[in-house]
């Protein structure tokens, strides 16, 4: 297999390549509105996946996610892309069942590389307990990979990205900084410690955090991906009609992120995420690099959950026992004139 540095083939890596949330919202608002009493979650609340009721006991979760390379190693890229796509089902409290490959691959690139990408994805689907049942491929100058995933959940028990209540505590189940570290990787300025920690985090399924959270009360949940903690937090705040207070000194952070952020290695998506949050309003007293981190686009990030205060410590303990880099990062308050307060 020829040696190729996949991240050099794309101007933006992973979820940092997503269309900005403000631009996307402007496009979606012009689409027709679909009415179906069995469609429990559609596009209206910018949630992580669609939920469609099949019976009184069963609902189907549908999602898809694909992106450009976020790792140079093809097998790593496949694992990360699959973990990221599966995450949407976990963010709804569901169980993935089937997955389909989504592939774009250059005409003249060694197909052994494609085989390794798809093997990485297949292994991660297998770890999730789902089945890979097919897919679709096209030729493209820039490699892209991801999955369309279908999962199951009880129609009365799935999580939404809104519903947070005043007094809830905010728990994040993975460290932040993947966008900043991946920018440092593209600039050939990353440490091996930061690279390895970031790869490990991005390849970790949110299945294990979901398993812990399902044993407790969850008022709202979303996964933190391309719109960053700030963008996804804004959606949770607006949907819940609350304000999220984020303690940046409590955030779990990947190695060397402060150094890279202070050097200006901030992906362009962070600025689009900041602009989106500004429309709903945010105030910040945090250091600039910490504020940048809040808006850093994450690839295969953790779950952000709003949980009752009296259950938060037990949830953190159980997450820690599962070897997850989790933290209590803030709280939910009555709605102010802004969606986010960043301290």
Residue ranges for the binding site for Mg(2+)? 48, 88, 223
Rounded distance between C-alpha atoms, residue 183 and residue 334, angstroms: 36
Burial environment of residue 251 by CB neighbours within 10 A (0 to 12, 13 to 18, 19 or more) = buried
Residue ranges at the known binding site for ATP: 18, 45-47, 65, 88, 135-137
Rounded distance between C-alpha atoms, residue 284 and residue 120, angstroms: 40
Could you tell me the CA-to-CA distances from 343 to 111, 141, 170, 205, 220 in Å, in that order? 48, 43, 14, 29, 22
Whether 342 contacts 244, CB under 8 Å: no
Residue ranges at the known binding site: 18, 45-48, 65, 88, 135-137, 223
Catalytic site includes residue 29: no
Could you tell me the CA-to-CA distances from 103 to 119, 126, 146 in Å, in that order? 13, 18, 7
Whether 61 contacts 150, CB under 8 Å: yes
Which of the residues 13, 15, 221, 326 is marked catalytic? 15
Whether 90 contacts 61, CB under 8 Å: no
Work out the number of other CB atoms within 10 angstroms of the CB of residue 321.
9
Active site residues: 15
């Amino acid at each position: 297999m020829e040696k190729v540095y996949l991240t050099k083939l794309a101007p933006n890596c992973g979820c940092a390549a997503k269309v900005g949330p403000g631009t996307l919202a402007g496009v979606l608002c012009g689409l027709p509105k679909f009415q179906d009493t069995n469609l429990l979650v559609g596009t209206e609340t910018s949630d992580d996946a669609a939920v469609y009721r099949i019976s009184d006991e069963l609902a189907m979760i549908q999602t898809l996610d694909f992106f450009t390379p976020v790792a140079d190693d093809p097998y790593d890229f496949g694992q990360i892309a699959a973990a990221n796509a599966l995450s949407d089902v976990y963010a709804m409290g569901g169980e993935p069942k089937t997955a389909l490959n989504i592939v774009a691959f250059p005409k003249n690139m060694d197909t052994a590389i494609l085989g390794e990408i798809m093997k990485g994805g297949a292994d991660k689907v297998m770890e999730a307990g789902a089945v890979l049942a097919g897919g679709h491929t096209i030729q493209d100058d820039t490699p892209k990979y991801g999955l369309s995933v279908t999962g199951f959940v009880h129609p009365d028990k799935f999580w939404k990205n809104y519903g947070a209540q005043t007094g809830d505590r905010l728990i994040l189940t993975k460290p932040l900084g993947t966008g900043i570290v991946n920018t440092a990787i593209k600039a050939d300025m990353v440490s091996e410690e930061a690279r390895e920690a970031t790869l490990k985090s991005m390849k970790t399924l949110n299945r294990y955090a979901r398993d812990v959270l399902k044993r407790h009360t969850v008022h709202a949940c979303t996964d933190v991906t391309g719109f960053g903690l700030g963008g996804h937090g804004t959606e949770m705040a607006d949907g819940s009609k609350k304000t999220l207070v984020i303690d940046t000194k409590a955030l779990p952070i990947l190695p060397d992120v402060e150094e890279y952020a202070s050097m200006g290695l901030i992906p362009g998506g962070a600025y689009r995420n900041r602009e989106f949050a500004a429309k709903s309003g945010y105030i910040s007293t945090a250091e600039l690099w910490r504020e940048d981190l809040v808006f850093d686009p994450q690839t295969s990030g953790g779950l952000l959950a709003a949980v009752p205060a009296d259950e938060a410590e037990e949830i953190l303990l159980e997450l820690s026992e599962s070897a997850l880099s989790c933290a209590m990062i803030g709280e939910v308050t009555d709605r102010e004139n802004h969606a986010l307060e960043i301290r």
